[in-house]
Structure 1
Amino acid sequence: MQTHSQKTNPDSNRPNILVVDDSRLQRRILCASLNRWGFNVDEAGSGPEALEKCAANPPDFVISDWMMPGMNGPDFCQAFRAMERDSYGYFILLTSKSEAVDVAQGLDAGADDFLTKPVSGDELRARLNAGERILRMEQELVDKNRLLSSTLEELQALYDSLDSDLIEARKLQQSLIKERNRRFGDSEVSLLLRPSGHVGGDLVGFFPIDSRRVGLFAIDVSGHGVASALMTARLAGYLSGSSADQNIALFEGEFGIYDALLPEQVAERLNNLTLDEIQTETYFTLLYAEVDLISGHVMLVQAGHPYPVIQRADGSVESIGSGGMPVGLMPDASFERVECDLDCGDRLFIVSDGVTECESPDGKMFEEEGLRKTLANNRHLKGQEFLEAVTWDLHQYAEEREFSDDVSAVLFEFTGPKRNAD
């Protein structure tokens, strides 16, 4: 014989419903209707008994009477809401109360809906259908949130792995600069490279051409991140100071002695290599200079890079250069050579736009005026101490915020003709 808590037409996809009422007759009436509709039905005669059943088998719906001895419907609802469960439980209160204050009390306790006794079968069925729609939406949200959480965990794992790789990539990028400082007789070259993120697109360096000349270069690849960093690594190989036969600025002359292309020829060659061999959308700015360590004569090419400056021994500052087009934008681009002379005590300072375009919190750029002030304020410092002071000034200007662009610089300090040049 079938009991009132069993279903006539079982359907495993239908919700589980718990009917709670201290009246056995009322429970049987409700359960009979619910069984006919194909729900999984259970019942309890009190709030405490219902809580035990909810703990053992959490229902999808609870239909509870308001007026029950011991624990009334709102109190039971509040206890039901406090239970831990994986999915939402839809709670319907049965009541003869219709005052707004009573409805508010039920809502405060956590009820989702109300039915007035005696219960109309059609109305109950409509309320359950509405509740099913809400539970389906809630389950969809739970499933999507679970999928989202799982995806976020996977992304976090990938990010952690990528972050670790980028940290190593930054170390490798920093290793592209074999030396941060070198003396050539009494003159000295010092380098600064401070990527704004893990890896960046700036590159600075130098290489000896022969016993009396040195090549200096500063590069700023467009964009940021891995692609720019890979490009700088490629360019570092083209301007290698450790392998003259791979350095595109050098060529082997008579008797196996290496000589250097003119600065504008170096820019043209890099331009052709970028467009013909590398074939990338990336371009870069370049400042390449050749310095005579005996005479102090400088030949340079400026290809879209910020204007280099000379700080004279008396502290005065002058900009040099001719602007020019970046490398890797147009085939057959031409570049103009600029020449100047350094006297004893003068220094040549080449910076990236990460210096001149460093922003204060209100968006004002450092620009050439800020660079001139920095040079004036730190004119007594030399080498790496000077570069550290420049970096400190930029941090102060940005009010300790992270730099929005890579910061790089080349400092050449000329202290007179190099001896024993031959």
Structure 2
Amino acid sequence: MTTRHPTLPPRPQQQIRALVVDDSAAQRQLISAVLLRMGFDVVALPDPGQALHYCMTEEGAQVQIILSDWQMPVMDGPDFCKAFRSMVRDDYVYFILMTSETDRCAKARALEAGADDFVTRPIDIAELRARLLTGRRILDMQEDLQHRNHEVKTTLDDLMRINAEMSRDLDEARKLQRAFIPDSTWRIGRSELSLQLVTSGQIGGDLVGYFPISDTEIGLYSIDVSGHGVASALLTGRLAGLFSFSSRRSNIAFLDNGRDVHSPEEVMSRLNEFMLREMDSDIYFTAVLAYVDLRSGHLTFSQAGHPHPLVRRADGSVERIGRGGPPVGLLPEAEFDCITIRLNPGDAFLAYSDGMTECTDTWGDMLEEEGLMDLLAGIPEDTEAAVASLEQAVNAHSGINDFEDDISMLLFRFGGPESARRGIAAG
């Protein structure tokens, strides 16, 4: 794609064009001679009317310095200066008035009209040269500033274009990232499962999902990749592939026979080895991986630096489970453990990212684990409605604040052994 830049400012002229305006032919000749010896390109005119008309022409647009007499018929120097300043020009013109005027109020009027400097009559050639050199330095600085401004504008235009392209790419990446996540709601007999992912930016580093293990067992995972942005999102995509919903050969949880699975803590160890071996990066992630037996309600899980899962019992009480464990991808030969709990019909299991508990309100106070447990105690029975209510409550807690981190959650409600008789559809 061709990048279009704004038109460059005009290249520096070899000579600065000066316009001399004086109703005295002798004075015009004298001033012009001085200017020519100093290397200026000189145009001399007898009255302001002709000068204004000349400045509106293409040739007159090249004028950069004007020396004007103060006392002239029809229009004096200050009025000529004011009329000239009202003209629309892209560049700046240095305006010098030649005068014998000593009244401070008169000079103040001339400055208000737009004059830059004065030369006292009778003309002292040394003073005139000094005033002109000052004007030329100011014009040089003005030209340098114009070119620098152009460079800044060009750079900003390029950055805006790149940002727009990046924004479009990130929007597409977000769509792809959403495609990594299985259907947000899944019902298996009386048991049901709902997922939610809210990214703090265009793309995020959180991942939640599930995969069928057998007709009577399901795998659940919640992952939070360190950092934000493209690198984290790319890793979530890679991890989503490692927990493939549809391909057991691609799913890191399955053995080579495609039927049996590694235990959750063995899967964490395999992921840790994969991260340290394949990823030349400082990125790591926290995770919870759980297997649920849909007949007995036994839930076996491994926790790797992730927030403690919560279990809401059918009577409304909430329990914190898990022993923590190290994150994945930080320590060689890290050891992960495994815990088994029993879900009774009506019990719900919640795995979530720390974006929920670390969500702050307008006072900077976090929701924290206790606040989430209170919210979980009052959720409705339907998991989809329950996840929506939790998201709404976290939004209410944050108030006008934007989420500083991604928020993700996975809520599984055990419905009883009827699930096993109906089986699990593999999509």
Q: Taking structure 1 as the reference length, what is the TM-score of the superposition? A: 0.92
Match for residue 404 of structure 1?
404
Aligned equivalents of 1:271, 1:103: Cα separation in 2:
81
Q: 1:105 to 1:362 in 2, by over 3 A?
A: farther
Aligned equivalents of 1:391, 1:407: Cα separation in 2:
9
Q: Of the candidates 104, 126, 132, which is equivalent to residue 128 of structure 1?
A: 132
1:160 paired with 2:164, answer yes
Match for residue 271 of structure 1?
272
Asked if structure 1 preserves the Cα contact closer than 8 Å seen for 2:226 and 2:285, the reply is yes
In structure 1, what residue type is equivalent to 2:338? R
Aligned equivalents of 1:325, 1:128: Cα separation in 2:
75
Q: What is the CA distance between 1:12 and its match in structure 2? A: 5.9
Q: Of the candidates 82, 85, 95, which is equivalent to residue 86 of structure 2?
A: 82
- 2:255 alignment partner, SS class: strand
Match for residue 179 of structure 1?
183
Q: What is the CA distance between 1:421 and its match in structure 2? A: 6.4
Aligned equivalents of 1:336, 1:118: Cα separation in 2:
99
Q: What is the CA distance between 1:320 and its match in structure 2? A: 0.9
Aligned equivalents of 1:400, 1:293: Cα separation in 2:
41
- 1:86 alignment partner, SS class: coil
Q: What is the CA distance between 1:282 and its match in structure 2? A: 1.1
Match for residue 170 of structure 1?
174
- 1:31 alignment partner, SS class: helix
- 2:214 alignment partner, SS class: coil
Q: What is the CA distance between 1:19 and its match in structure 2? A: 0.9
In structure 2, what residue type is equivalent to 1:359? T
Q: Which moved more, 1:208-217 or 1:387-396?
A: 387-396
1:3-36 CA-partner distances (Å, limit 9, x unpaired) = xxxxxxxx96121100112222222221121122
Q: 1:66 to 1:398 in 2, by over 3 A?
A: farther
Aligned equivalents of 1:12, 1:307: Cα separation in 2:
72
Asked if structure 1 preserves the Cα contact closer than 8 Å seen for 2:182 and 2:210, the reply is no
Asked if structure 1 preserves the Cα contact closer than 8 Å seen for 2:301 and 2:340, the reply is yes
In structure 2, what residue type is equivalent to 1:111? A
Q: What is the CA distance between 1:74 and its match in structure 2? A: 1.8
Q: Of the candidates 234, 245, 257, which is equivalent to residue 249 of structure 2?
A: 245
Q: How does 1:259-338 map to 2 (within 5 A)?
A: 259-338=260-339
Q: What is the CA distance between 1:349 and its match in structure 2? A: 0.7
Match for residue 19 of structure 1?
20
Aligned equivalents of 1:369, 1:92: Cα separation in 2:
76
Q: What is the CA distance between 1:163 and its match in structure 2? A: 1.1
Q: What is the CA distance between 1:192 and its match in structure 2? A: 0.5
Q: How does 1:164-243 map to 2 (within 5 A)?
A: 164-243=168-247
Aligned equivalents of 1:355, 1:277: Cα separation in 2:
30
Aligned length: 408
Aligned equivalents of 2:381, 2:18: Cα separation in 1:
82
Q: What is the CA distance between 1:198 and its match in structure 2? A: 1.1
Match for residue 32 of structure 1?
33
Q: Which moved more, 1:79-88 or 1:232-241?
A: 79-88
Asked if structure 1 preserves the Cα contact closer than 8 Å seen for 2:81 and 2:95, the reply is yes
- Mind listing any 5+ residue stretches in structure 1 that lack a counterpart? 1-10
- Mind listing any 5+ residue stretches in structure 2 that lack a counterpart? 1-11
Aligned equivalents of 1:82, 1:331: Cα separation in 2:
74
Match for residue 6 of structure 1?
none
